[in-house]
Chain A
Amino acid sequence: MSRLLRTSEVTRRPVVTLAGQDVAQIKDVVFSAGGGAVIGFTLAGRGLFSGPLNQALPWASVMALGPDAVMIRHEEVFAPSATVLDGSASSVGSGGDVLGSQVLTESGTELGTVVDVILETAEAGGGHCDVVGYEVAASEKLGTNGTRVFIPLPDTLAASSEHLIVPDSATRFVAHDLAGFGAAVKAFRHELEGPT
């Protein structure tokens, strides 16, 4: 059983050790361009005056991505940020952040701008965590100007902080609520895999 959640729900969530200490909070979700697998999280300190940390939390060290906290075994599982971020992301200030970038189809139609990223993760902690789609503030091309819709992603995706490319057929699997989105992702990927 898996569930879908927005990255905005995950960011700012406290990172808590099994000893019950809140050692950090989630800043960004970092995912792989090939496959959409979540690689890890960048971290910010807890408390009003603390800024971003130069340490990151690799996904492999996450015990549970819970609704109220991200559980880890102990603080020693943190790794230097470079292990989850590639060079391009750390050299530019907001480099690699897909929030706010334009969604383009392969044929060059702009569908809207990304306002959130949808993750799929196993119900019980551990297991995989993948980016499966985007929540997009739709342009008029989708016929629903200004509303927010969910666009599924294929298994592989091309993304930068400027543009995200999705196959043309993705537009046929747009969902208007998160509840119906899980099925849309499945149907979409099934179609991509199957002979057309």
Chain B
Amino acid sequence: MRFSEAAGRKVVSTSTAGTVGQIDGFVVDPQTHSLVALTVKKSRHGDTLLWSSVTAFGVDAVTVQAADAITKCNDAVAALSGKDRRMIGKRVLNTGGEDLGAVTDADFDPATGRLTTLRLESGDIDGERLVAIGSYAAVVHRDA
């Protein structure tokens, strides 16, 4: 699933069947190449939905057990979120110091939260190759 498709999707509680928020952004841990959390807007409980609290990432909605699955940002997530860690629009450098262009979109596996592909104007990069996301650039391994 693409980040661009998934953004804006509503978050629905399976216990009350009510909409409890809307997906705003994605928090990626470059070390594990996967999503650790989603940022959420329009929620009264907070702005963070940990990936572990997601019941299912569906085609039309993200389901959670209850509205309080959405929490305030914790330290671990805060360290990986913020403007400096945002992946979309970031310059991509490989470990050989070549600029590959900016990230236009990314794909993740809705079942596991794994980052599968980084989409760049110059082509796609396997999510496994991601090393880190910093203020200047996202660093990826050079082609094998």
Q: Which residues of A does B touch, CB under 8 Å?
A: 14, 16-22, 63-71, 124-125
Contact = CB atoms under 8 A, between A and B. Distances in A.
Given A16-B93, A18-B131, A20-B93, A68 B99 contact: yes
A21 B134 contact: yes
Interface stretch (B21-29, B47-55, B136-144): B136-144
Nearest to B140: A20
B35 to A, nearest CB: 18
B131 A125 contact: no
A21 B133 CA distance: 8
Interface of B: 93-99, 131-139
Contacts of A19: 132, 134, 139
A17 to B, nearest CB: 7
Given A16-B93, A21-B134, A66 B98 contact: yes
Contact of B134 (A20, A65, A70): A20
Nearest to B130: A20
Nearest to B133: A20
A47 B21 CA distance: 39
13 contacts: A16-B139, A19-B132, A19-B134, A20-B137, A20-B139, A21-B134, A21-B135, A21-B136, A64-B96, A64-B97, A67-B99, A68-B93, A69-B98
